[in-house]
């Protein structure tokens, strides 16, 4: 495991040839100064990129509408849906869908016991959400935002689940409490440990054959 960045990172967005992540460049009276880096897996180069490149990867072609809709474009959860649509889940749990014509549709709220998701992912026309406080992974109907399935709870395999990354039929769930990545088969709902660390796991993604993990101490390639 090799450390590739030492600093405060807010999220990791995978792309076919690498990753992009927003990071804390500085702190001023008004708050954090956020810049954006891109890592290429082809040549291992890491460079700063423009905000628009980050927005386009996170929100799609209608990123200007998404940024204006979201209260915080870094912390908002975003999923690129089929047919060039984008789903946003804001910090208060309110959900919006931006259609391919840039119209904004209010789609209700996504919560569990008044808690908002720590992360969202999309699989076979359903939303999967992790809830840190309840130690669960839940499946929601995309059209109604109603819960359909829950994994976890009492004797949960999750411990403060954070990020969800889906690869094929597997959901990789980063757990800050147990310092583990747990993988869940989204077809038969079996659960197994995937990778353990000595500190909290905040985020895990893949790009090509490369695996990246965000820990308290920095960003690593596994």
Q: Are 65 and 102 in contact (CB under 8 A)?
A: yes
CATH of the domain at 153: 2.130.10.10
Q: Are 201 and 222 in contact (CB under 8 A)?
A: no
- Cα gap 105→92, rounded to integer Å: 16
For 205-219, the pLDDT digits (tens) are 999 999 999 999 999
Q: Which pLDDT score, from 0 to 100, does residue 88 have?
A: 97
Q: Are 170 and 148 in contact (CB under 8 A)?
A: no
Q: Which pLDDT score, from 0 to 100, does residue 107 have?
A: 84
The count of structural domains within the chain is: 1
Q: Which pLDDT score, from 0 to 100, does residue 154 have?
A: 83
Q: Are 86 and 62 in contact (CB under 8 A)?
A: yes
Q: Which pLDDT score, from 0 to 100, does residue 121 have?
A: 98
Cα dihedral 99, 104, 106, 111, rounded to 10, equals 70
In a domain, 68, yes or no: no
Q: What letters, b where the CB count within 10 A reaches 16 and e where it falls short, cover 185-219?
A: ebeeeebeebbebeebbbbbbebeebbbbbbeeeb
Residue 148: count of CB within 10 angstroms of its CB: 11
In a domain, 101, yes or no: no
In a domain, 41, yes or no: yes
In a domain, 18, yes or no: yes
Total residue length of the chain: 222
* Helix, strand, or coil (residue 160): coil
In a domain, 83, yes or no: no
Q: Which pLDDT score, from 0 to 100, does residue 30 have?
A: 74
In a domain, 128, yes or no: yes
For 129-170, the pLDDT digits (tens) are 999 999 999 999 998 999 999 999 888 999 999 999 999 999
With a cut of 50, which residues of the chain have pLDDT below it? none
Q: Are 45 and 17 in contact (CB under 8 A)?
A: no
In a domain, 81, yes or no: no
pTM: 0.95
- Cα gap 184→139, rounded to integer Å: 12
In a domain, 124, yes or no: yes
Question: Cα 167 to chain center, whole Å?
Answer: 13
Domain that holds residue 117: 2-49+110-221
């Amino acid at each position: 495991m090799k450390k590739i960045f030492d600093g405060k990172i807010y999220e990791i967005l995978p792309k076919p040839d690498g990753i992009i992540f927003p990071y804390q460049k500085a702190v001023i009276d008004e708050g954090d100064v956020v810049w954006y880096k891109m890592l290429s897996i082809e040549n291992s180069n890491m460079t700063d990129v423009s905000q628009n490149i980050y927005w386009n990867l996170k929100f799609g072609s209608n990123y200007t509408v998404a940024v204006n809709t979201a209260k915080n474009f870094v912390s908002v959860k975003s999923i690129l849906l089929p047919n060039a649509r984008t789903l946003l889940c804001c910090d208060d749990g309110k959900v919006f869908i931006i259609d391919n014509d840039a119209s904004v549709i209010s789609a209700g709220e996504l919560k569990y016991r008044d808690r908002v998701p720590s992360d969202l992912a999309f699989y076979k026309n359903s939303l999967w959400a992790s809830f840190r406080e309840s130690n669960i992974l839940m499946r929601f109907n995309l059209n109604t935002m109603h819960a359909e399935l829950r994994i976890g709870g009492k004797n949960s395999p999750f411990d403060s689940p954070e990020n969800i990354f889906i690869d094929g039929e597997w959901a990789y769930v980063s757990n800050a409490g147990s310092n583990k990545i747990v993988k869940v088969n989204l077809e038969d709902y079996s659960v197994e440990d995937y990778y353990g660390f000595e500190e909290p796991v905040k985020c895990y993604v893949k790009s090509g054959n490369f695996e990246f993990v965000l820990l308290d101490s920095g960003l690593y390639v596994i």
